[in-house]
Amino acid sequence: MTGKEIIVPTSSGDVEGLFEDSQFVFKGVPYAAPPVGNLRWLPPQPVKPWEGIRPAKEFGPIAPQNRTLLGESLAYLAVDEPHSEDCLYLNIWTPGIDDARRPVMVWIHGGAFIIGSGSQKMFRGNTLVKNSDVVLVTINYRLGCLGFMNLNELTGGKIPASGCEGLLDQIAAIEWVRRNIRNFGGDPENVTVFGESAGAMSIGCLMGMPAASGKFEKAILESGAANTVGSLEESVTASKKFIEILNLEPGDIEGLRSADVGQLLAAQENLGYMMLLKDGRITPFQPVVDGSVLPEIPLEAIRKGSAAGIRTLAGTNLEEFKLFNMMTPNFQRTDEAGLVRKVQGWVPSQHVAGVIEAYRKGRQERGESATAAEILTSIQTDLMFRIPVLNLVDAQTKNGQPAYNYMFTWKSPILHGVLGSCHALEIGFVFGNYDESFCGAGPDAAALSGAMQDAWASFARTGNPSCASTGPWKPYGTDRNTMILDKECRSGEALYEKERSIWDTFDMVFTKPI
């Protein structure tokens, strides 16, 4: 049946997809109106219904974005697709157009809120759908200045952008899924959102947003949680600087709305460079705690019970920050003074020495390298990724909802292994489309991919990731149970406890993005 066309009705009109590689595929399906012209910076609007049959055989344009050094360095992570402001499209892979009511998994891509798409190489040719009998949906959403810039304050509400438009896009896509996915063989009452990095951080935000309440039943967060947001004050400062770079005034509504996308991206890149020099971060925009759309820091809302009904699976990779530090000149030459200086910028001054010492002792006791560079990488990994994830699963546990934790420890073979178990390495294993140079290959890699697919699909189906491939998963609970995902999957308790426990001495519910 390969190449056979199939027509399916949606709430906006009929779409025509193809049967490819043992699954039905529908590409570039619009879930909201193009956010262009006067709709720029507004919440997503309904799709205008069409007459006849709309082809869904090619991926739609992705959100406007600049190229990054990371993509230049690792082809597997590169995003090189046509982009346009008209970008609010989703893609569907399904084993059957029938009434099977399969679990639905909606993927929210990562990329530091400035890059990425729902049609990147690692999602194409996936084996998750045919191996697991689930319906997969991947989405685009607005990024950077178009999706996460607050303009409401500076324009006196004339452009009411909250800085959460990218999140509202995600909600609109999920709503489209709930309305239409039954026609694609899925169960609209069994929707799991899953994502990585900024995608997982987005999910953390959705778990704390009133507008997302009741939209999904389960959440899988890979290397991201509910704390990476911007304050209203900081976001207004960034927006003001962005407008200055454009040589516009905050009151120039027409100038803002008519600015060319290329100008916007150039201004965003300029602002990002300024922030890199000032704060050592590359992301100028992120979801904004505006007090309305996102009323408070998501982790705080979750602790109060906003996501009490959502079953949660969340975890991290052992050495996340090795991916980013690879691009930092002379990073391996970091000395003790440089280590202290860096940590002073992230944690309260009275805790700097204690944090560094906890990581030094933890690594030494395990017989691991305890150079300043290795300690710094471990602290960065935990600050940005692991501790926020553990805070999230702990909050869900305390709210009476079983929550599961994993640690991915498989190491990348690329560059003679210097990347270790780095950020984004697990994605290819989940989708079964892993790159040999970056992820590895062979029977062990295939077995790990199969185990992760089985666990992710089991969670999507039942809310429990236990499966024959990994064995039983215990909820995180008070024992801090964690499933270690590697050549041999196994359960552990209170992993890296010396390092983890030092973060209990102070509370960090807010973390700036990288």
Summarize pLDDT for 96-129 with one digit per residue, the tens. 999 999 999 999 999 999 999 999 988 888 999 9
Residue 268 binned pLDDT confidence (cut-offs 50, 70, 90): very high
Whether the per-residue pLDDT at 77 is higher than 90: the answer is: no
Long-range Cβ contacts of 471-480 (<8 Å, 24+ apart) = 473/404, 475/397, 475/402, 475/403, 475/404, 476/390, 476/393, 476/394, 476/397, 476/403, 476/404, 476/405, 477/397, 478/397, 480/390, 480/405
As a whole number, mean pLDDT of residues 269-274 equals 93
Q: Which member of 12, 117, 162, 197 is catalytic?
A: 197
Residue 267, both tokens: 């201004």
Residue 485 belongs to domain spanning: 1-514
Q: Specify whether 300 is catalytic.
A: no
Which helix (H) or strand (E) element contains residue 7? Answer: strand 5-10
Whether the per-residue pLDDT at 281 is higher than 80: the answer is: no
Q: In 3-state terms, what secondary structure has residue 359?
A: helix
Residue 510 binned pLDDT confidence (cut-offs 50, 70, 90): low
Residue 72 binned pLDDT confidence (cut-offs 50, 70, 90): low
The pLDDT score that the predictor gives to residue 121 is 86
Q: Where are the beta strands (DSSP E) in 348-440?
A: 403-408
Residue 279 binned pLDDT confidence (cut-offs 50, 70, 90): confident
Residue 399 binned pLDDT confidence (cut-offs 50, 70, 90): very high
Of residues 510, 40, 43, the one with CA closest to residue 233: 510
DSSP one-letter code for 385: I
What is the spatial distance between Cα 62 and Cα 294, in angstroms, rounded to a whole number? Answer: 25
Residue 292 binned pLDDT confidence (cut-offs 50, 70, 90): very high
- b/e sequence 207-239, b meaning 16+ C-beta within 10 Å: bbbebbeebbbbbbbbbbbbbbbbebeebbebb
The pLDDT score that the predictor gives to residue 103 is 98
The pLDDT score that the predictor gives to residue 75 is 74
Residue 140 binned pLDDT confidence (cut-offs 50, 70, 90): very high
Q: Which member of 117, 423, 449, 499 is catalytic?
A: 423
What is the spatial distance between Cα 166 and Cα 170, in angstroms, rounded to a whole number? Answer: 7
pLDDT digits (tens, 9 = 90+) for 400-422: 988 999 999 999 999 899 999 99
What is the spatial distance between Cα 504 and Cα 8, in angstroms, rounded to a whole number? Answer: 52
- Dihedral sign computed on CA atoms, order 169, 188, 296, 276: negative
Cα–Cα distances in Å, from 35 out to 32, 64, 65, 74? 8, 12, 15, 31
The pLDDT score that the predictor gives to residue 509 is 64
Whether the per-residue pLDDT at 2 is higher than 70: the answer is: no
Whether the per-residue pLDDT at 513 is higher than 60: the answer is: no
Q: Which member of 320, 374, 426, 499 is catalytic?
A: 320
HSE at residue 306, side-chain half, CA atoms within 13 A, is 24
As a whole number, mean pLDDT of residues 272-300 equals 90
- b/e sequence 139-154, b meaning 16+ C-beta within 10 Å: bbbbbbbbbbbbbbbb
Residue 359 binned pLDDT confidence (cut-offs 50, 70, 90): very high
Spell out the residues 6+ positions from residue 244 whose beta carbon is closer than 8 angstroms to its own: none
Tell me phi and psi for residue 143, to 5 degrees. Answer: -120, 170
Is residue 150 a contact partner of residue 161, using CB atoms and an 8 Å limit?
yes
% the chain with pLDDT above 70 = 97
Q: Specify whether 320 is catalytic.
A: yes
**Total domain count for the chain?**
1
Please state, rounded to an integer, the average pLDDT across all residues of the chain: 94
What is the spatial distance between Cα 242 and Cα 250, in angstroms, rounded to a whole number? Answer: 10
The pLDDT score that the predictor gives to residue 118 is 96
The pLDDT score that the predictor gives to residue 282 is 72
pTM: 0.97
Could you tell me the CATH number of the domain that includes residue 34?
3.40.50.1820
Residue 494, both tokens: 């209170």
Is residue 92 a contact partner of residue 135, using CB atoms and an 8 Å limit?
yes
Of residues 173, 124, 117, 119, the one with CA closest to residue 21: 124
Residue 511 binned pLDDT confidence (cut-offs 50, 70, 90): low
Whether the per-residue pLDDT at 398 is higher than 60: the answer is: yes
What is the spatial distance between Cα 176 and Cα 121, in angstroms, rounded to a whole number? Answer: 24
Q: Specify whether 197 is catalytic.
A: yes
Residue 106, beta-bridge partner list: 137, 193
CB neighbour class for 485 (10 Å; exposed up to 12, middle 13-18, buried from 19): buried
As a whole number, mean pLDDT of residues 187-192 equals 98
